[in-house]
Chain A
Amino acid sequence: MGIRKLALAGALAVASMSAFYTSACAEDVKITVWSLDRDIQPAPNLIKDFNNLKTGITVEYRQIQFDDVVSEAMRAYSTGQAPDIIAVDNPEHALFSSRGAFLDLTDMIAQSSVVKPANYYPGPLKSVMWKDRYFGIPKATNTIALYYNKDMFKAKGLDPDKPPQTWDELVDTARKLTDPAKNVYGITFSAKANEEGTFQFLPWAQMGGGGYDKINAPGTVKALEIWKTIIDEKLASRDTLTRSQWDSTGTFNSGNAAMAISGPWELDRMVKEAKFDWGVALLPLPEPGAKRSSAMGDFNWAIFANTKHPKEAFKVLEYFVSQDNRMFKDFGQLPARSDLAIPPTGQPLKDAGLKVFQEQLKYAQPRGPHPAWPKISKAIQDAIQAALTGQMSAQEALDQADQKIKAVLG
């Protein structure tokens, strides 16, 4: 606490000094930006570069913690102290835009030579939309795919260049790869009772022909039954129910799971930690030729509706967008754009994996967008957990979730 207070006092001192300085020398427009990016992540670095350009706009940055983004933003907005620009997690975007807290950027985007909707993957773009208007710009994106241990595939007589294509193949492969004597599970993923569980399950639901608005579709029920088979037959650890994606993939890296479902944020750690040959494959489908789908994660930029400088704030966003080609090289994040070619990193496993993720991103779908997304998500998490613990059948659990979601959707 002491350090925090000191840091706060220091920040205040610096802020008041710089405020004095700016007002003394030039009438720069001041834009404040809030995001959760740390010093090695995009926002603070892009802002530093932007300020060095001396465009007559000075950007001030404040880092907020992941858990505080929404509550801090809401508090600030309702007391009239909101920043000009904020980065919010994509499923929470609609909560703000539906209530008019975010500025409608549609007209500015139409006139912009930098921000072009056609350049974006459809999933991330949809997440900034509300009633066919744009209320933000995707900041970065990610999705999930299937990592697999090629060495283990070879050891069990499986073709390392033919990862499972369908759900049934996935279960079959997991059965073959599971080796309790060696402490190896066939697969690892996350069914945790938080947003991560929803994030991992929704792609399966969507591939099965369902979605959050029809969560008890037959294909979705089958997806949950497959998950249950995987847990019941001990093809994945029971701790899948309480483990995060990051921790689950950790067991893959240490050779205790032969396959893992997770996102591109794992690439760097895997290159460092995994002492085996691995590959990435698209998420398996319910049957060959079925419609692909995947999850869509990461944050969006938005401008608060009560900003005094909407034009300048949009200029700042345009600058961020113009730097999208640096996202992967400098910060390890995927830009939400399909028009940018990401240059190879020189790390063959990582580059191969990246290609698959870029392919998978074409099918990524946002969660929602709906202003009451957390409630919808909670209903889905409860259903997953009720079915996997055997307290309800997959059908019952998803029927119950459907009722809860229908009540939210109205």
Chain B
Amino acid sequence: MRRFLLSISDGRGFDIGLVSVPLAFLFAMAGLPLIYNIVMSFQEVDMFSLGTFARPFVGFKNYVTLFSLPETWPILGNTAVFVIASIAGQFTIGFGLALFFWTGFPGSSWLRGLFLVSWIMPGLVVGAIWNWILSGDFGVLNYILRESGLISDNIFWRSDPDFSLWAVVIANIWLGISFNMILLSVGLSAISQDLYEAAELDGANVIQRFYTITLPMMRSTIGAIISLGLIFTLQQFDLFAAITAGGPNNSSNVAQYWAWDLSFRQYDFAQGATVSVIMIVFVMIASVVYVRSTRHEVRG
């Protein structure tokens, strides 16, 4: 007994006690809803059985129904395109800007701060603004493209099934650039200047320095940003609601918007939950990749 008490005040018991508090919190706030969601995807749910747990279990029926719908695969495909294109765009442009501001020209830190404005804005506001920019007849983007001779006919960004998904991707890239840039800037400033000086003395040129020093030293930052980017793009909902509402004909519909539409527009909570479970699976896979890729890292 004494040993037990002792271990609580200092030792294993103390460690476990410390860990259990955040774990309990996580379980209550994230774990329970997650489990509830998964359970719901195996049940028959309607608006009237929402308040109770005792709902009939239907096995994999919700999943079978879901995958028999003609729109399921296109929507999952759209989700993949949206996530990959958004992250690629946000990361590349964000990294470019971070490197640009890293050169430290006069006023660079100021400008860098100003860039964060886009990240602070609520998604619905960003969506409403891009809604105007991307508007087919009087949109600014079409005006610029037309005046610069790139297009002769207006592109209906929101209403043409070939462009609608890209309309949201463009808006989402714009929204995410600044966040990527700031995090990457932090990573860049953590690299010791000595390394670059030594490399320069050894005769490494700019490109060699970038590939042999900057990128390897940024590995953990890049991993973190890409996994955060994955999370942010998978929860991007406001832009879809504001710009295309998933239309036309689901050409810009993605899993997260679809899950909402199923649950709260069509009141089919079981199907909505099923879509979110599929999303959870994808996020799990992505996070395993992320954890594995950063497991052996050496922090310098």
Contacts and interface: CB of A to CB of B under 8 A. Distances in A.
B260 to A, nearest CB: 10
A256 B136 CA distance: 13
Interface of A: 67, 70-71, 74-75, 77-79, 95, 99, 101, 183, 185, 192-194, 237-242, 251, 256, 374-375, 378, 382, 385-386, 388-389, 391
B161 A239 contact: no
Interface in B32-69: 47-52
A241 B58 CA distance: 37
Interface residues of B, number: 31
B160 interface: yes
Interface string B125-160: 000000000011110000000000000000010111
Given A75-B50, A78-B52, A101-B48, A242 B266 contact: no
A70 B159 contact: no
Contact of B245 (A194, A238, A375, A386): A194
Given A75-B51, A237-B137, A386-B249, 17 more contacts: A67-B264, A70-B267, A95-B47, A237-B156, A238-B160, A239-B135, A239-B156, A241-B247, A241-B248, A242-B245, A242-B248, A374-B265, A374-B266, A375-B268, A378-B266, A382-B249, A385-B250
Q: Chain B's interface: helix, strand, loop or mixed, by majority?
A: loop
Contacts of B135: 239
Interface in B230-251: 243-251
A239 B266 contact: no
Contacts of B48: 74, 77-78, 99, 101
B251 A389 contact: yes
A375 B156 CA distance: 28
B50 A78 contact: yes
A238 B247 CA distance: 12
A193 B249 contact: yes
Top 8 A-B residue pairs of the complex, sorted by shortest distance between their CB atoms: A78-B51, A193-B247, A385-B249, A238-B156, A74-B47, A241-B159, A241-B248, A242-B158
Given A239-B135, A242-B244, A385-B247, A391 B161 contact: yes
Contacts of A193: 245-250
Contacts of A183: 137-138
A382 B247 CA distance: 9
A251 B138 CA distance: 10
B69 to A, nearest CB: 10
A95 B267 contact: yes
Given A70-B267, A193-B247, A389-B249, A239 B159 contact: yes
A239 B159 CA distance: 5
B47 A238 contact: no
Given A78-B48, A99-B48, A375 B249 contact: no
Contacts of A388: 248
B47 A391 contact: no
Contacts of B246: 193
Contacts of A194: 245, 265
Given A99-B48, A239-B136, A239-B156, A374 B248 contact: no
Contacts of A75: 50-51
A36 to B, nearest CB: 16
A183 B264 CA distance: 38
Nearest to B243: A242
Given A75-B50, A194-B245, A238 B159 contact: yes
